[in-house]
Amino acid sequence: MAATDVAICSNALLMLGAQPINDLTENNDRARLASNLYPAVRDALLRSFPWNCCIQRVVLAPDATAPAFDWTYQFQLPGDFVKALAVGELGAEHEFRIEGRKLLSNDNPCLLRYVFRNTNPATWDDGLVNVLTLQMAAAMAYGITQSAALQDALQKTAMNAMRAAKAVDGQDDTPETFGDLRLLRSRFARSDILSQ
């Protein structure tokens, strides 16, 4: 079954021993609590890590007006922008700064790789769905159960699930290597000479 906003919030409520909801607009305290907390908890989670299912690339055109000083161009950020990851092509990234809803750079066009506000949980990794469910349970715990101890326990569980989800998500990329660094080559060459 594909994940939805309602399913995530309902599962979080079930973890708290509360009745699930069928819609975030229901006229009850559980739905109001979930609908108030969900967007902020979701966006904070998306911003916390470059989840592979929430990354987009876009080429931005500069605004007609340039920044007052320090930078040559300014670009309007996409409406679904959450966090910048890089500007420029891989291996040839450019310096940039985010100010308000503008990206400042000395390069045109602007090749932006960023985390976007992916509001469709059906396209998310299962680990991300699980983490958001646990974080929603922690966020709603005191409001539903009046138990600070349960809230703390759920926050710890969510942090552990986050570590595991990040590790799995990171395995979808090319493994990191030390590269061809002269320092490493000389160090290993020196150790080979000493062992002879």
> How many domains, in total, are found in the chain?
2
Question: Position 101: which residue type?
Answer: R
Based on the fold, state whether residues 142 and 165 are members of the same structural domain: yes
- pTM for the complete prediction? 0.80
| Coil, helix or strand at residue 148 | helix
Sequential pLDDT tens for the chain (196 residues): 579 999 999 999 999 999 999 999 999 999 999 999 999 999 999 999 999 999 999 999 999 999 989 999 999 999 999 999 999 887 778 899 999 999 999 988 899 999 999 999 999 999 999 999 999 999 999 999 999 999 999 999 999 999 999 988 877 766 656 555 556 555 665 555 555 5
Position 20 in a domain: yes
Final residue of a structural domain among 116, 136, 152: 116
Based on the fold, state whether residues 45 and 137 are members of the same structural domain: yes
| Cα–Cα distance for residue pair 155/136, rounded to 1 Å | 9
Question: Position 52: which residue type?
Answer: N
Of 135, 130, 134, whose CA–CA distance to 40 is shortest?
135
- Structural domain including 68 reads 54-116
Based on the fold, state whether residues 111 and 155 are members of the same structural domain: no
Question: Position 189: which residue type?
Answer: A
Cα angle for residues 40, 42, 153 (degrees, 5° grid):
95
Position 151 in a domain: yes
Torsion of CA 108, 80, 41, 165, to 10 degrees: -70
| Coil, helix or strand at residue 120 | coil
